[in-house]
Structure 1
Amino acid sequence: MSVYEIRRTQRDDAVPDALERLRHWAHVAPLDIALRHKRHGDWYAWRWIDVLHDVEQWVDGLRSQGFDEGSRLVLSGAFEPDFLLLALAAQASGGTLAVVPAPASAEQARQIVEAQRPTHGFVQRRRELGLWLDAADQSPVLGTLICGQQPLIKSTGTAIISVAQLRLAASASSQVRAQQIRSKGIEQLWTEEGSEWQGGFAVLLEQWLGTGQALAFAECPGSVARDRRDVAPSGLVMSAERLQVLADEIESRLPPQGSWRRRLCDWTIADPQRGVRRLLRNRVKRLLGFEHLRFIWQAPHKAPSPHPWVGSFSREVA
């Protein structure tokens, strides 16, 4: 199991100056949208000043749970606002972070805890709490687990607190329904990733805080395609593996190989800038939510996805 760490001394991880960059955007563009996330069917947004305020408040929430400069937080799950805010707050508190794939078994959770020796953990889904609690029982230091959902189990040893309780302790509640603030026509980055992307969290912070563009997240894995169409992002931040998933999604939407409709699609992609071909290609882009796409992040020295449609989008925005 791969575990990658965010070290405060490594500039390559784009984290040491994350707080400085956050303060910069909160100062120069305080009312611009920084984060968007769909929750329970509604889009919510945070402005840059909101993000800075929440991070500062979440520092207090973490301190109420005993998190300080000697503490270590391990995080796993999908990248979304709570994940980012908690990680930045832990960084602001002087602690260290480890971003790890969600364990598939109690043994994998135990290996993570044994290797990282965290004092605190963030678990996004309550169904994973049992795995982490088993590992915590064997750890001399892991004393607090923070769950993205309201926990339904209790522990006599490790403290379990929900994100909602942490927010209450921090008095942080800056999320606003997106309809109440300007959200149309803005430059937006999009990601469908989670902690299983090795090194991906540092990439995400670098692209988000480096560009000052809004960063948007789907409600859940099952709504990714629909929510991406809602956002129509200008940039994608994805691993090579996720781009392959996207290529598979495109393939599933195309007519079967050998059919006349598929030959029409292949004819379109061969020279998509002319006449009816351009119209057909634009329709595919709208179905994917890519009508405003101008940027696809790809790891250096990584070959693009073999699917010709993804390849054409990559060339177009290069």
Structure 2
Amino acid sequence: MVRFADGGERVPASLPEWLQWQARRQGEGIALRHKRLGIWQARSWAQVDAEVRGLAGALQVRGFAGDAQLVVLSRPRPEALLAALAAQWLGGSAALLDPLEPAAGQQELLRELQPDFVFAEGLEELERLRGAGLAPRLAFYADARGVKAQAGEQDYARLLAGSGAVQPELPAQTGRCAFAFYRRGADGRRERQQISHGELLREGRRLVQAEQLGAHEEALAARAFAAGGQARYLLAPWLIAGFRLNFPESLATRDNDRRELGPTLVAGTRETYGRLYAQVQARLPPPGSAQGRLVDWALARRPGLLHRLLGHALVRRPLRDVLGFSRTRAPLLVGEPLPQEVQAFFAGLGIAVRAWSDPAEWHSPPAHPAPLVGDWLADGSQPA
């Protein structure tokens, strides 16, 4: 429940309101961790709440209003998430772009969007923005290594330090757009997917209840919510259940970081599980060898105490450790189903991957600019 100045309370109706609620409920508990230079750096719920408030104040001073959109161009890192929440705190939305997409196509998209506010991870992303010939009102970045700031560009830490005491109020947001995603349709036209706070919270509550998620969970955010399914089934549940969200040091280290962390919750895609399956297959002993026959025996579905105990000790537990699934109790699949052999492999390890659909609705925006947020109705729908 969110408590207001008049003493009243109600169920949080937006992502920032859930952040506010968790900060009051478990302020000293760890909300986020990010591995840097091999060491996990932690932020408590109270620290995350204060940082998002500070960013929201800094954005507000620079003209970010309720109908504005923040473009986020970043790999997995806490600052990207907190910047998105700050934009939403002011009633705006965050457009999440994946920096692993080809530069040429993404620069074309950026020119079409003409963003006034951008969060870029570091130099590489800033150069992509500059290469598009854009001059946003504010472009702030988390990694200052090698960056020589140009007009309108500012370091994240300095922006936050100079935010002052501004404490923007939370507007009513249930039906407003929280996140936007973009892609090219079959006809080459730009398509957009919008997800409202109401939709995110409905899906997030459904997942929390079905999987019995609580504050004790550990999750790894390896794709920085660059897809709608990650926002529905990882970000929203994180805020609702109040568990710990961990960011790998980099995409290159995510598998090692997963093994070290041993998350209890994994929200992966077909590509995630397929990549892990391929890695294990490349390391297994040759088929027909003595070790190969032992693996086949241990992964086969056979009843019996000997098979369960010996197969787990010799094969299944070591393979789960290699995958980073040693403690995983909620292995989720978001989006397209797994190939049969991949599903069977994880099932043989005792990992029952459960599918959660990604009900994405893509639309081609009108040729003329239109508000991305203001046309949402109170029930989360759009006017006809």
Q: Normalising TM by the smaller chain, what interval?
A: 0.7 to 0.9
Are 1:243 and 1:305, in contact at CA under 8 Å, matched by a contact in 2? no
Kindly state the Cα deviation for residue 240 of structure 1 after the two structures are TM-superposed. Answer: 1.9
1:294 to 324, 329, 336: 329
Kindly state the Cα deviation for residue 218 of structure 1 after the two structures are TM-superposed. Answer: 1.0
Q: What CA distance in whole angstroms lies between the structure 2 residues aligned with 1:289 and 1:110?
A: 36
Q: What CA distance in whole angstroms lies between the structure 1 residues aligned with 2:44 and 2:301?
A: 41
1:63 to 52, 60, 68: 60
Q: What CA distance in whole angstroms lies between the structure 1 residues aligned with 2:42 and 2:261?
A: 12
Kindly state the Cα deviation for residue 186 of structure 1 after the two structures are TM-superposed. Answer: 4.2
Q: Which residues of 2 match residues 272-311 of structure 1 at below 5 A?
A: 274-280=308-314, 281-299=316-334, 302-303=337-338, 306-307=341-342, 308-311=344-347
- Answer with 48-57 or 292-301: which moved more: 292-301
Asked if residue 134 in structure 1 is aligned to residue 131 in structure 2, the reply is yes
Q: What CA distance in whole angstroms lies between the structure 2 residues aligned with 1:136 and 1:69?
A: 26
Encode CA deviations 1:163-194: one digit per residue, 9 max, x unaligned. 2222322479xxxxxxxxxxxx9421123213
Asked if residue 113 in structure 1 is aligned to residue 113 in structure 2, the reply is no
What amino acid is aligned across from residue 95 of structure 2 in structure 1?
A
Query: Which 5+ residue runs of structure 1 have no aligned equivalent?
Result: 1-14, 173-184
Asked if residue 101 in structure 1 is aligned to residue 98 in structure 2, the reply is yes
- Answer with 118-127 or 99-108: which moved more: 99-108
Q: Which residues of 2 match residues 1-318 of structure 1 at below 5 A?
A: 17-102=14-99, 104-137=101-134, 142-150=136-144, 152-154=146-148, 158-170=151-163, 186-194=216-224, 196-271=226-301, 274-280=308-314, 281-299=316-334, 302-303=337-338, 306-307=341-342, 308-312=344-348, 315-316=351-352
Percent of residue pairs identical: 27
Q: What CA distance in whole angstroms lies between the structure 2 residues aligned with 1:110 and 1:190?
A: 29
Encode CA deviations 1:84-133: one digit per residue, 9 max, x unaligned. 11100111122222112226555323322234332111221312322211
Kindly state the Cα deviation for residue 286 of structure 1 after the two structures are TM-superposed. Answer: 2.1
What amino acid is aligned across from residue 278 of structure 1 in structure 2?
H
What amino acid is aligned across from residue 256 of structure 1 in structure 2?
P
Alpha carbons of structure 1 residues 234 and 118: separation in structure 2 relative to 1, 3 Å: same
Alpha carbons of structure 1 residues 315 and 93: separation in structure 2 relative to 1, 3 Å: same
Alpha carbons of structure 1 residues 105 and 245: separation in structure 2 relative to 1, 3 Å: closer
Kindly state the Cα deviation for residue 150 of structure 1 after the two structures are TM-superposed. Answer: 0.6
What amino acid is aligned across from residue 88 of structure 1 in structure 2?
L
Encode CA deviations 1:273-294: one digit per residue, 9 max, x unaligned. 6121010211222233222110
Encode CA deviations 1:248-285: one digit per residue, 9 max, x unaligned. 22223322344332221121111486121010211222
What amino acid is aligned across from residue 146 of structure 2 in structure 1?
L
Encode CA deviations 1:117-169: one digit per residue, 9 max, x unaligned. 321112213123222112143x6xx332222211635465x511222222322
Are 1:98 and 1:116, in contact at CA under 8 Å, matched by a contact in 2? no
CA RMSD of aligned residues (A): 2.9
Task: Give the alignment's TM-score, normalised by structure 1.
Answer: 0.79
Kindly state the Cα deviation for residue 317 of structure 1 after the two structures are TM-superposed. Answer: 6.5
Alpha carbons of structure 1 residues 17 and 160: separation in structure 2 relative to 1, 3 Å: same
Q: What CA distance in whole angstroms lies between the structure 1 residues aligned with 2:313 and 2:254?
A: 25
What amino acid is aligned across from residue 275 of structure 2 in structure 1?
V
Are 1:145 and 1:159, in contact at CA under 8 Å, matched by a contact in 2? yes
Q: What CA distance in whole angstroms lies between the structure 2 residues aligned with 1:305 and 1:74?
A: 37
Rg larger for: 2
Alpha carbons of structure 1 residues 151 and 292: separation in structure 2 relative to 1, 3 Å: closer
Q: What CA distance in whole angstroms lies between the structure 1 residues aligned with 2:152 and 2:233?
A: 32
Moved over 4 A (4+): 103-106, 153-156
Kindly state the Cα deviation for residue 49 of structure 1 after the two structures are TM-superposed. Answer: 1.8
Q: What CA distance in whole angstroms lies between the structure 1 residues aligned with 2:86 and 2:349?
A: 36
Q: What CA distance in whole angstroms lies between the structure 2 residues aligned with 1:64 and 1:305?
A: 53
Are 2:270 and 2:336, in contact at CA under 8 Å, matched by a contact in 1? no
Alpha carbons of structure 1 residues 136 and 154: separation in structure 2 relative to 1, 3 Å: farther
Are 1:61 and 1:167, in contact at CA under 8 Å, matched by a contact in 2? yes
What amino acid is aligned across from residue 29 of structure 1 in structure 2?
Q
Are 1:100 and 1:195, in contact at CA under 8 Å, matched by a contact in 2? no
Q: What CA distance in whole angstroms lies between the structure 2 residues aligned with 1:288 and 1:104?
A: 26
